[in-house]
Amino acid sequence: MEQFELQMDKLKNRILKMCSLVDEQFDSAFRAIEEENVELAKQVIENDNKVDKYDVKIDKACQKLLALRQPVATDLRFIMSAMTINSNLERIGDIAVNIAENFLLLKKKPAFLEKSNFIPMAKLVKEMIRNSIDSFINNDPKLAKKVIEADDILDKYNVDNHQILIDIMRENKDNIEAAVALLVICRQLERSGDHATNIAEDVYFIVEAQMIKHKYVKYIFGELEEDDDEKEPS
């Protein structure tokens, strides 16, 4: 049992390091655009191999614990969720790289940046990522719920932003290249928010032993109302 606990602690520490690294990667990608910092964008791309290494180590550790230790209850939920949390973190890291690469095509932020929803979207996604990580670290289902609810706001930003950027391209054809690049970046932000939401859903599962992933649930004062699709067929 002591060996199992040591392995669990090692797994938790690796996930925490992965959380910190991915959070830093995403923040750096955002700052690279905001500060027009080409070197910082290149650093994000170079650091991606660190994220990939942690991804492999965490995945192997989870598989080993499941195969050799046969955990139950809370430990089983943690290990199952750790695998999907790790996967979502790795994808957020990939998206940070994609954002950095798209910025390097421009090498400067578009003059119309503040007319778009890029800044509020980036700030919201940063908050969602950090809240999802904090909810995991602190076993906080309320904070996880906050992340899940924020996803609707992010989706609205993304939809509105699409029309804003189309209008900008129509107004001036010289803006097309930069607007398309920003459109791609904002789509990447929306995907990052989805991954943060997935992490929050896993945290809810770990703490509350309640699966809410892909159920299209409606939150009403802390209660979950199931979609009709979840009912057993007659």
Query: Would you list the domain boundaries of the chain?
Result: 2-230
- What are the Cα distances from residue 26, in Å, to 98, 100, 182, 192, 198? 10, 9, 16, 9, 17
Tell me: pLDDT of 125 over 50. Answer: yes
Question: What is the structure's pLDDT at 227?
Answer: 46
164-189: per-residue pLDDT in tens?
999 999 999 999 999 999 999 999 99
| Residue whose tokens read 């090498």 | 107
- What are the Cα distances from residue 36, in Å, to 33, 110, 198, 202? 5, 10, 31, 35
Name the residue with higher pLDDT: 228 or 197: 197
Question: What is the structure's pLDDT at 57?
Answer: 93
Question: What is the structure's pLDDT at 214?
Answer: 47
pLDDT band at 3 (very low <50, low <70, confident <90, very high): confident
Q: How far apart are CA 57 and CA 86, in angstroms?
A: 10
- May I ask the CATH architecture of the domain 2-230? Up-down Bundle (1.20)
DSSP lists the bridge partners of residue 224 as: 219
Residue 201 φ then ψ, to 5°:
-65, -40
Radius of gyration of the chain (CA): 20
Question: What is the structure's pLDDT at 215?
Answer: 45
Token digits of residue 89: 């973190």
Tell me: pLDDT of 218 over 50. Answer: no
Lowest mean pLDDT among 75-84, 116-125, 185-194, 218-227: 218-227
Question: What is the structure's pLDDT at 76?
Answer: 86
